[in-house]
């Protein structure tokens, strides 16, 4: 791996030194950013390790230009007209004058001609650690003005005094200053003064100050405006934000600034959020995987790893299973609350909270209330099917589904059919008790409870008693028409012959009855006379 690369360097004394405090941040599996702070100028760099033979490119840098776009000032400025002023910030705008034409007035700073002590300075918004200076001279003329310039750095710590470096006494288009020994304290300001040239003019076309911003351990960027995202809050590279120790959980990318994509978290963003995390993409905390948008229905816990406890279900496990779920413990589905083992009798799936709709009852509300319940149509007990107000006549309680048993009729089948119904099983109309098959001989009426009227007998009471029967209206037996008071003497008709024996027996019975009746009547008359006489006295 590229992180196994070892670096050493040599200075003017040719002494090889292994890079101290070597920090390697793997940008990807092909690229690494390595920081190797050195105290003295380096003349050679040595790379070692098995990975060396696989290297494609090596870039060595003294840092970035920390002066770019920073706040610049000068003691005065040259102004030819209102539109042609040589401002101090032109020396840190990143532009170098072109050699082919005079563009210095657009890219260079320039002090006023009458300025006796010209100076230019740049101030940093954050302290910087400096490794090298470059100053660009004019390209059109007057390059001798910059030789022997003085460069002074002002450390942030008052314990360190300003340090001044002198530029070359030769005329050059570009001057390089490498501090030796290394500047050991972060710097807040760099000041350049002219080199005592006769014209006393200071012109700078660009000032490059290479190094890095000195940021707190958890910050990086040109103004330390960005936050490092390194594992265990370790320091990151100030220029890139890359983390030698690796990105903190929840971050990825060259500068560890990219958050994990939705649904991923952890070191390297390689772990998936729990599938039971809520949200459109099973969103979780990019760092530790906790579910930030709650859990899917039926799950609970920081990671939504636990099913709802017994008899709880739904979002946040806030719902309670119905008391009417089947089973001793009334448990239900932990996600949607449906009663997997069905409902108690009289309750509706899936939640078993609602009773059967009007007109239905029983397990699964599969039964239909009887059409023969009295009261509002289709109403019965939603559990048992019992008709609240009883049954219509002709149907058996409690559910009124069955007709009355044979031989019964009426409300609650509480009445017995007449024994005189023509049917041998005494079957009658279940509603009103009427004998649908008619009556036995000698009986009449809807329910066959009446005997034939005097003078009639037989089936349907349609047969007239014999005119030979003794008595007013010729009375006879209502069933078979026999003359129960006897027949006219010497009558030899079949009915009288059939009933003569019956008539003699009847006479033997009737004589004492007639005598008793006569005696009773006489006694009543006598008693009435005695009472009347007593009243007269």
- CATH code for 65-214? 2.60.120.260
* Structure token digits, residue 113: 């001609």
Distance CA 400, CA 381 (A): 12
* Per-domain residue ranges of the chain: 2-60, 65-214, 405-450, 452-505
pLDDT at 535 over 60: no
% residues pLDDT > 70 (the chain) = 85
pLDDT at 303 over 70: yes
What are the pLDDT digits (tens) for 362-375?
999 999 999 999 87
DSSP conformation letters of 112-170: -TT-SS-EEEEEEEEEEEEEEEEEEPPSSS-GGGGTT-EEEEEESSTTSPPEEEE--SS
Task: State the pLDDT confidence band at 23, using cuts at 50, 70 and 90.
Answer: low
Give per-residue burial for 380-395: e unless 16+ CB within 10 Å, then b.
Answer: bbbeebbbeebbebbb
Report the pLDDT value the prediction gives residue 153, as an integer from 0 to 100.
93
CA-nearest of 463, 482, 480 to 471 is 482
Q: Looking at 60-69, 271-280, 341-350, 491-500, which range is the least confident one?
A: 491-500
- Rounded mean pLDDT of the chain? 83
Report the pLDDT value the prediction gives residue 370, as an integer from 0 to 100.
92
Q: What is the dihedral of CA 186, 191, 192, 193, to 10 degrees?
A: -140
Q: 416 near 408, Cβ under 8 Å?
A: yes
CA-nearest of 266, 335, 276 to 304 is 276
Cβ neighbors of 339 (< 8 A, separation 6 or more) are 321, 322, 324, 325, 326, 332, 333, 349, 350, 351, 352
Q: Looking at 41-50, 63-72, 130-139, 313-322, which range is the least confident one?
A: 41-50
Task: State the pLDDT confidence band at 209, using cuts at 50, 70 and 90.
Answer: very high
What are the pLDDT digits (tens) for 141-188?
888 999 999 999 999 887 788 889 888 889 998 998 888 777 878 899
Distance CA 516, CA 214 (A): 147
Q: Cα dihedral sign for 468, 469, 472, 477?
A: negative
* Structure token digits, residue 140: 């059109």
Task: State the pLDDT confidence band at 25, using cuts at 50, 70 and 90.
Answer: low
Report the pLDDT value the prediction gives residue 302, as an integer from 0 to 100.
92
What are the pLDDT digits (tens) for 177-206?
888 777 878 899 999 998 878 889 999 999
Bridge partner list, 128: 187, 213
Burial class (CB in 10 A: 0-12, 13-18, 19+), 55: exposed
pLDDT at 493 over 60: yes
Report the pLDDT value the prediction gives residue 160, as an integer from 0 to 100.
81
Distance CA 247, CA 299 (A): 31
What are the pLDDT digits (tens) for 393-417?
999 999 999 999 988 999 889 899 9
pLDDT at 21 over 80: no
pLDDT greater at residue 82 or residue 238: 238
Q: Cα dihedral sign for 213, 214, 215, 220?
A: positive
pLDDT greater at residue 28 or residue 405: 405
Report the pLDDT value the prediction gives residue 10, as an integer from 0 to 100.
83
CA-nearest of 268, 270, 296, 269 to 281 is 296
DSSP conformation letters of 330-376: ----TTT---TT-B-TTB-TTTS-SBPPTTEESGGG-EE--TTBSSS
Distance CA 245, CA 247 (A): 7
Which helix (H) or strand (E) covers residue 47, if one does? Answer: strand 44-48
Q: 215 near 225, Cβ under 8 Å?
A: no
Distance CA 270, CA 466 (A): 118
Burial class (CB in 10 A: 0-12, 13-18, 19+), 376: exposed
pLDDT at 444 over 90: yes
Report the pLDDT value the prediction gives residue 474, as an integer from 0 to 100.
79
């Amino acid at each position: 791996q590229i992180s196994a690369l070892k670096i050493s360097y040599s200075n003017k004394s040719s002494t090889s030194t292994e890079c101290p405090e070597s920090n390697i941040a793997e940008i990807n599996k092909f690229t690494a950013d390595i920081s190797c702070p050195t105290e003295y100028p380096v003349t050679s760099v040595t790379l070692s390790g098995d990975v060396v033979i696989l290297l494609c490119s090596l870039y060595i840098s003294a840092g970035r230009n920390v002066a770019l776009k920073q706040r610049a000032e000068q003691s005065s400025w040259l102004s030819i007209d209102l539109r042609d002023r040589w401002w101090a910030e032109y020396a840190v705008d990143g532009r170098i004058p072109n050699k082919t034409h005079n563009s210095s007035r657009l890219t260079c700073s320039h002090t006023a001609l009458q300025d006796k002590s010209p100076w230019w300075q740049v101030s940093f918004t954050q302290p910087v650690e400096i490794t090298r200076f470059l100053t660009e001279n004019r390209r059109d003329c007057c390059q001798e003005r910059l030789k022997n310039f003085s460069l002074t750095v002002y450390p942030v710590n008052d314990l360190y005094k300003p340090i001044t470096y002198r530029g070359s006494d030769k005329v050059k288009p570009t001057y390089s200053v490498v501090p030796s020994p290394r500047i050991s304290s972060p710097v807040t300001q760099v000041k350049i003064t002219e080199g005592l040239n006769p014209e006393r003019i200071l012109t700078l076309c660009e000032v490059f100050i290479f190094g890095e911003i000195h940021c707190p351990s958890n910050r990086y960027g040109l103004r330390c405006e960005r936050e490092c995202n390194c594992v265990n809050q370790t320091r990151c590279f100030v220029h890139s934000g890359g983390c030698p120790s690796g990105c903190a959980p929840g971050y990825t990318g060259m500068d560890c600034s990219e958050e994990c994509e939705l649904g991923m978290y952890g070191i390297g963003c390689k772990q998936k959020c729990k599938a039971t995390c809520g949200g459109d993409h099973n969103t979780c905390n990019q760092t530790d995987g906790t579910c930030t948008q709650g859990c899917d229905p039926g799950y609970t816990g920081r990671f939504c790893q636990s099913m709802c406890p017994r008899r709880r279900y739904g979002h946040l496990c806030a719902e309670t299973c119905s008391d009417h779920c089947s089973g001793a413990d009334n448990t239900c589905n932990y996600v949607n609350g449906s009663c997997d083992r069905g409902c108690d009798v009289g309750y509706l799936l899936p939640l078993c909270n609602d009773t059967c709709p009007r007109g239905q009852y029983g397990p699964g509300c599969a039964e239909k209330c009887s059409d023969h319940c009295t009261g509002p149509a289709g109403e019965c007990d939603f559990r048992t099917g019992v008709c609240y107000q009883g049954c219509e006549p002709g149907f058996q309680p409690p559910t009124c589904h069955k007709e009355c048993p044979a031989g019964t009729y009426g409300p609650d089948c509480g009445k017995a059919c007449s024994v005189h119904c023509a049917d041998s099983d005494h079957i009658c109309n279940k509603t009103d008790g009427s004998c649908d098959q008619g009556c036995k001989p000698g009986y009449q009426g809807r329910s066959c409870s009446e005997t034939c009227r005097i003078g009639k007998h037989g089936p349907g009471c349609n047969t007239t008693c014999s005119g030979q029967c003794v008595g007013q209206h010729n009375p006879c037996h209502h069933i078979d028409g026999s003359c129960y008071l006897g027949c006219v003497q010497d009558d030899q008709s079949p009915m009288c012959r059939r009933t003569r024996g019956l008539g003699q027996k009847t006479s033997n019975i009737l004589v004492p009855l007639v005598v008793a009746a006569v005696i009773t009547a006489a006694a009543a008359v006598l008693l009435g006379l005695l009472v009347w006489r007593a009243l007269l006295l």
